[in-house]
Every structure is written in structure tokens, then in C-alpha cells.
Amino acid sequence: MLLACSLWIGLVASLLAVDRPPEVTSEKGMVVSVSPEASDAGLDILKQGGSAVDAAVAVALALAVTFPEAGNIGGGGFMMVWPANAKGSDQPAQPVCIEYRETCPAALKRDSFVNERRQEGHHTIGIPGTVAGLALAHEKCGKLKWAQVVAPAILLAHEGFHIDAALASALNRMAGSPTANFSEFRRVFTKPGGGEWQSGDRLIQRELAQTMKTLADDGPDSFYRGRIAEQIVAEMQAGGGFITREDLAGYRAHVRKPVSTSYRGYDIYAPPPPSAGGTQLMECLNILEQFDVNGLGPKSPQFVHVLVESMRRASCDRVRHMGDPDFTPIPVKLLSKDYAKQLSEQLDLSRATRSESLAPDITLTDEPPSTTHFSIVDGHCMAVANTYTLQNSYGSRVVVGGAGFLLNNEMTDFNWRPGVTTTRGQVGTEPNVMAPGKRMLSSQCPTLVSREGKLLLVTGSPGGRTIPSTVLGVVVNVIDFSLSAREAVDAPRWHHQWLPDRIQFERHPAPDYAELLRQLQQQGHLFSDDVKRLGDGYQRQGDAHTILIRHGVLHGAADWRRTVGKAAGW
Ligand code: DON
């Protein structure tokens, strides 16, 4: 086994020739995110005496400035909070999930989009949850004043920051697009004075700074009932969107009990529905626990086989059963060990299951980027795993007039054509059809892992339906293969989402994996060729900014797959 693990570590080390930020250690506090400015803003809040949740609010708002692709105040997400150690208490810590998923406007019904094809624009915008979610988390677990945690975002937007090559090229591509719509997007994101954005240019967003200042001065309610709400409603009326004043005033974030399971003596916690991601993760772990994963070794066809077969089954159950729990009952068996045992016993260990045989009547759509995840631990061991999103990169592309921020296109996460499921990728299963006031189903899966009441791992990722697969990989790499934070994040990632019946593998078709891939193909597994390949010939899955705690030391590993993130330790 040791040999298998050291071979694996060697392969991991030789992975893609991309600059990878170093693993950072600290005993006092750590913030890991996609954006160096946002990580630094979070660390600064910790240094001011803020809790992990204070830092999380600051990071989330800073990302809305520095990572407009997915950082947001106009979207939604899920925040897992590990409470600070209660002094004198021997009760095990009870993590909570702050759920701030977007919601369907009252004007829309189950078949409102039956004939709709456009995936961007005002009609695709769900009622945003981010500000309500951050405010709720802050109210429950914040130590600093609200205005204090909003301050870094105001500064970054007002003074500007130096953009990197990835943001420069994205803005050139997006703002330069001749599409007639989205003129406000172009006005806000076109380089002042003309010409193309270059890496190192300063992006100043004065209108966004004013919006952040309104949030700071008038409080988070200004987004739902005050000045910002009025700007959103005006934008909806001008562009034919559906969100009304009443929709905004009625929005609520929720504190929800996480889903959880035990896995080889560790406790795993992740968001409950309306995200399917946590339930999928638990189902996969419960299946994998039936196998000697450590003994099989990470590069064995037997391990990869049971890994992808667990993903296939959990994804199928997602499509069949999952939606907003306030509208549709979610079977409790999805989290049960007995059910996982039954599934693992039915699993053919020598042949790939054909996905259609699990449920011949239903199929899946593909899902575009982008989302972002960050992880934080403070000096009192309070931790936050937060994933939030605009859905697509830059969401609906609608920037609220004069307010400088983007709105999501999360309505595309509902099943738009009830009952219509096709082999070409439409899903029409009932639990996730649209209804007024309903949350659309998500894959987001910010995750906390502990052992005997002590926090071990804080992780999560973007990547649409690949999210639970990415998180599963990180968790298994840490628990079963004893990898470090850096190695667990760097290891090549696997994904299967039931349909299309294809394995996605980051290193397909790398020569050093040829034998493994050949053996899997012999077992009947099919591989995805229709993925976007990057300059080095390989696809990348997710962006898992992770903190691992060993012997009281925080090890932060920023992922490098989207852009160079930063682990900021104190
Ligand atoms: O919540 C969800 O499941 C998706 N809308 C997330 C989209 C996403 O992760 C795209 N990211 N890269």
C-alpha cells in the first residue's frame, strides 16, 4: 500500500506544468481563495479580531469586486460553518449550513420556460440570496461590525486592483463582444479610454464601490428593501425581468441542518437540499466505505471502478429524487448506510454498469462554469467552507444599471420542460421543475470533515455537476490515501454524472495513465472526449481551495486550475 501511495504522490507531483502556489502553514488563521486580494482582505479581518465568519463575509464581498466571473452579491450559495470551540463544553461541535440559494420569482410557473432557449438575460435571474446569506451568517457568528467587514470591498472597488492575465482576457472577450444586449456590462467592464485590458491594469469600479457603501451604511436590508432593491427593480422593468419589489422583500436565507455521514471514523458535513451536492457526496462515501479503498490503491482500476460507479448511482438518485425540500420530499434512504450497502452489493465489480440500465427514462443536461469556493479557519478553530455562484461565468450578463454588479442566471438550474427528458441532455424530472418561491437544485458542496469532534478538513469547489466528484476526490485523498493538502488538491480528478455515460478524467489521455485507462475501457467504461482541453492538452476540473489541519497546524492549499489563488496564513 505504501508503495502504491508513493507512486501516486510521484504522479501527482509530475502533474501539469502550471505554476502552483505553495502550501502555506499557520497556527493562527488561514484564508484560501481564488483571489489574492480577497484572501488578504479575509486575513486582515482575522487580524482585526474577526471570526472566520467575519472573514468569510469580507472575502465574499471582496470576491464580488476582484473575481466578477463568480464572486457576487447578485447570486447565491451555501456556507458551512464550524462553530468555535465552546469553552468548557464537551458536547461535539454542531456545524450549520447557511443556505442562501436563489429563488424563483412569483410570476413564473412550472412551464413558463417550456419554449425558452436563451440561457442569459433578464428572464434567467433568480432572486439573489448572497447578501441575505452573508448577513444571516454575520448576525449568528460575527464579532466585528457589519460595516467593518464590508469595508475591504469598498476599498478594492473604489481604489481598484491590478487584474491578472485571466481576468484581462475574460473582460476583453466579454466586454468586446458585439452582442446588442448587455450594454451596461460593456459600459462597466470596457477599458476606460479604449483598447484591450492587459495583465497589471487597474480595474476601478466606482459604482460598485457606491453599492458596497450603501450596504455598509444602510445595512444588508438595503439590498432587499432599500436603495439597491429599487435599482434592481428598475433594471428588471427596463429589461423584461421577473423579479419584483415583493420578491426581493420576501427573500429569506435559512439556517439548515447539514447532511452528514461517518466515513472510516471521520465525520463529514455538507449542505442539505436544495443542494444535491452534499447528499451525493454522502451516498458516494457510504458506498466506498464498503470497499478497501486504501488497499486497492489510488491508481488501481478496481478503485477507479468503484469510485465512478458510486458517482453514477448518486447522480442518478439526484435526478430522480432531488429538488427544493420545501416543495418535494427527499427520500431519507439516500443517506442511509443500508441503502449504500445494498447498492454496493448490486455493483458488478468487473463491468461498468450502463447508466441507462439504472433509470432508462431520464437523462441530464450539461452545465457551464462558473462558481467559486473559499475556505477559512480562525484562531479559535471556527471554520467556514463557502461556495457561491452566479451560475455561468458573469451570470446573466446583466449588470444592474448604475449599481455596478452582476446578476445570476440561476433559473437555468431548474428543469425547464417538465416531463421532457431526452438523450440529448434535457431533464424534465418533477422534483426540480419551476414553481414560485422555489429554490432551484444545486450541486454546491462546501464540506467540513472532523474526527472525534476536532476539525480536520475544510474544502469545496466550483464546477457544476463535477462539484461533488471533486470534493469526494479531495476527501478520499486525505482520509484513504493520507495525502497532504497540496497533494490532495493537485491529484488528478475523476467525474461521472450518470448521463452522459462517460468518465471525465483530467489526465485523459495522458501516456502515464494509458494502462489504467485501457483496463477501465476493458471493463466497459467509456471516456469523455468532448471536453474543452487547455493549452497543455488536459481538461481541468474544479478549483478546490482547501485547508487541512494536522496536529493543530493549518495547511492551506490554493488550487491553481482556474487562476493562481492564494492561501493567506497568519
Ligand atoms: O449551484 C449549482 O449547482 C450550479 N449552478 C453551480 C455552477 C457551477 O459550479 C459552475 N462552475 N464552475
Q: Answer for the pair 330, 389: CB distance below 8 angstroms, yes or no.
A: no
pLDDT of residue 564: 83
Which of 365, 444, 562 has most ligand 1 atoms within 8 Å of CB, for mutation?
444
Nearest Cα to Cα of residue 294 among 29, 481, 53, 77: 481
For residue 70, give the 3-state DSSP assignment.
Answer: coil
Determine the 3-state secondary structure of 121 from DSSP: coil
How far from the centroid of its chain's Cα atoms is residue 171's Cα?
A: 22
Catalytic residue among 103, 371, 372, 447: 371
Cα 371 to ligand 1 centre (Å): 5
At 318, the amino acid letter reads R
Ligand 1: distance of its center to the CA of 463 in Å? 6
pLDDT at 365 over 60: no
Axis-axis angle for helices 130-141, 146-159 (nearest 10): 140
Residues with a CB atom less than 6 Å from ligand 1: 367, 369-371, 389, 391, 413, 442-444, 462-464, 467
Give the pLDDT band (50/70/90) at residue 563.
confident
Cell numbers for 413: 438550474
What atom of ligand 1 comes closest to residue 392's alpha carbon? 10
Using CA atoms, how far residue 321 sits from 85, 324, 334, 345, in Å, is 36, 10, 9, 22
Atom of ligand 1 lying closest to residue 467 CA: 9
**CA gap 382, 141 in Å, rounded:** 9
Going from the Cα of 531 to the center of ligand 1, the distance in angstroms, rounded, reads 17
Determine the distance separating the centroid of ligand 1 and the alpha carbon of 404, expressed in angstroms.
22
Indicate the DSSP class of residue 307: H
Tell me the pLDDT of the chain averaged across its residues: 92
- Ligand 1 centroid to 98 CA: how many Å? 17
**Three cell numbers at 7?**
507512486
The pLDDT of residue 484 is above 90: yes
**Contact predicate 514/520, CB 8 Å:** no
Segment 283-305, tens digit of pLDDT: 999 999 999 999 999 999 999 99
The pLDDT assigned to 526 comes to 94
Give the separation between CA 394 and CA 392, rounded to whole angstroms. Answer: 6
Q: Which of 72, 388, 439, 443 to mutate to test the pocket of ligand 1 (most atoms within 8 A of CB)?
A: 443
Model pLDDT for residues 71-103, shown as the tens digit of each residue? 999 999 999 999 986 555 667 779 999 999 999
HSE-up of 462 (CA within 13 Å, CB side)? 27
Residue 174: which of 412, 388, 406, 411 has the closest Cα?
406
> Where does the pLDDT of residue 6 fall: very low under 50, low under 70, confident under 90, or very high at 90 and above?
very low
Please tell me the distance between residue 547's alpha carbon and the centre of ligand 1 in angstroms: 21
Span of 8-22, 122-136, 219-233, 542-556 with lowest mean pLDDT: 8-22
Strand partners, 503: 527
**pLDDT of the residue at 509:** 73
Cβ count near 359 (within 10 Å): 16
3-state secondary structure of 96: strand
Euclidean distance between CA atoms 391 and 336, whole angstroms: 30
* DSSP letters spanning 264-286: TTEEEEE--TTBSHHHHHHHHHH
345: cell is: 452489493
Amino acid identity of 453? G
* Active site annotation includes 190: no
How far is the C-alpha of 104 from the C-alpha of 301, rounded, in Å? 43
SS (H, E, C) 526-555: CECCCCCCCCCCCCCCCCCCEEEEECCEEE
Q: What percent of the chain has pLDDT over 70?
A: 90
Return the C-alpha cell found at 562.
482556474
Tell me how long the chain is.
570
Ligand 1 pocket test: which of 366, 391, 465 has the largest number of ligand atoms within 8 Å of its C-beta? Answer: 391
For residue 224, pLDDT over 60 is answered with: yes
Q: How far, in Å, from the CA of 391 to the mean position of ligand 1?
A: 5
C-alpha distances in Å from residue 380, one per residue of 170, 443, 455: 38, 30, 11
What is residue 31's three-state secondary structure?
strand
Q: Which of 371, 396, 408, 562 to mutate to test the pocket of ligand 1 (most atoms within 8 A of CB)?
A: 371
pLDDT of 178 higher than 90: no
Question: What ligand 1 atom has the least distance to the C-alpha of 276?
Answer: 3
> How far is the C-alpha of 410 from the C-alpha of 101, rounded, in Å?
9
Ligand 1 centre to CA of 121 (Å) is 17
pLDDT (tens digit per residue) in 494-543: 999 888 889 999 988 788 899 999 999 999 999 976 556 666 777 899 99
Three cell numbers written together for 66: 476582484
Which ligand 1 atom is nearest residue 543's CA?
12
- What atom in ligand 1 is closest to the CA of residue 542? 12
Residue 152, preceding peptide bond in cis (omega within 30° of 0)? no
What are the grid coordinates assigned to 417, written together? 420542460
Residues 438 and 324: their CA atoms lie apart, in Å, by: 6
pLDDT the model gives residue 420: 74
Take atom 8 of ligand 1 and give the residue whose Cα is closest: 464
Which strand (E) or helix (H) includes residue 351? none
Q: From ligand 1's centre to the CA of 417, what distance in Å?
A: 20
Contact 450, 442 (CB under 8 A): no
Query: Per-residue pLDDT tens for 390-431?
Result: 999 999 999 999 999 999 999 999 999 898 766 555 678 899
Q: Would you state the pLDDT for residue 534?
A: 67
Report domain extents, the chain. 20-255+381-435+550-569
CB 267 within 8 A of CB 450: yes
Smallest CA-to-CA distance from 308 within 481, 3, 460, 524 is with: 524
Tell the residue nearest (CA) to atom 1 of ligand 1. Answer: 442
Predicted confidence band of residue 199 (pLDDT cuts 50, 70, 90): very high
Q: Give the ligand 1 atom nearest the CA of 410.
A: 5
CA-nearest residue, atom 5 of ligand 1: 391
